[in-house]
Homo-oligomer: A and B are copies of this chain.
Amino acid sequence: MVDENFRIPISARIGRHVVIEEGVILGENVRIGHHSVVLAGTVIGHDVTVGCNAVLGCQPYNNARVTHKVSKQEGLVIGNGCRIGNGAVVYAGTELGEGAMVGDLASIREGTRIGSSTVVGRSATVECRTRIGSRCLIQTGAYITADMIIEDDVFIGPEVSTSNDKYMGRQPYKLAGPHIKERASIGNNATLLPGIAIGRGAVVGAGSVVTQDVPDGVTVVGVPAKPLSANRSGTSKGGQ
């Protein structure tokens, strides 16, 4: 079932000990680093570069404690010109747009759509069924929960944390991640609560805890986050 020499174009540059399972499709000029694994059903476009030790196209799994059960996914689709980092893990059933980049040791779950030229930083984690637009920067170590919507040109700073379960598993709740509208910017290590909306071009200050919707173009800071004009009591400089 596993065949290292399966359907590999002449133009491909494949590292040592790479595993490419049956049914994988590779475009032209693909580079895959040493020890990477490309699992059955993955479709890789032209001019894609994959680092070493990456795992592409893995299937989700279930556990007694996790209520949302997952089923077998269709293949992972990696667009032309994408760059996948060393040690990254990307699941089946996900699509990466043209020129997207996935950093080293980042992981992206099943059923997610990532737009063109978007960057998912090193060690960032993206949960299942999330939609991320084009030209977004999801920075290092950020956590993007399931069922989120992130529109185009959004900036999400390092170690930002999001959530989608208001009751933390204590009672039934329709999971709802934040909705971040186009051109919004979220400062590093900010915390976003379930179901809130961050407006177009809005700005969330670094370290803020956002507990309610932020209107278009408004800057909020603090814990809980409040509009900047109502918050000029101390030393905060807002921004990031």
Query: Which residue numbers of A lie inside 8 Å of B, CB to CB?
Result: 2, 4, 15-17, 19, 33-35, 37, 49, 51-53, 55, 58, 61, 63-66, 83, 85-87, 89, 99, 101, 104-105, 107, 117-119, 122-123, 125, 127, 135-137, 140-141, 143, 145, 155, 157-159, 161-163, 165-170, 185-189, 191, 193-194, 203, 205-209, 211-212, 222-226, 234-237, 239-240
Least CB distance from A21 to B in Å reads 9
The CA-CA distance from A170 to B219 in the complex, in Å, is 13
Chain B residues with Cβ below 8 Å from A212 are: 235, 237
Asked if A143 and B158 make an inter-chain contact with CB atoms under 8 angstroms apart, the answer reads yes
Asked if B105 and A89 make an inter-chain contact with CB atoms under 8 angstroms apart, the answer reads yes
The CA-CA distance from A170 to B240 in the complex, in Å, is 11
Contact check: which of B2, B87, B118 meets A55 at CB < 8 Å?
B87
The CA-CA distance from A117 to B65 in the complex, in Å, is 6
Q: How many copies does the complex hold?
A: 3
Contact check: which of B4, B16, B107, B239 meets A166 at CB < 8 Å?
B239
Contact check: which of B136, B145, B208 meets A158 at CB < 8 Å?
B145
Chain B residues with Cβ below 8 Å from A208 are: 209
Least CB distance from A187 to B in Å reads 7
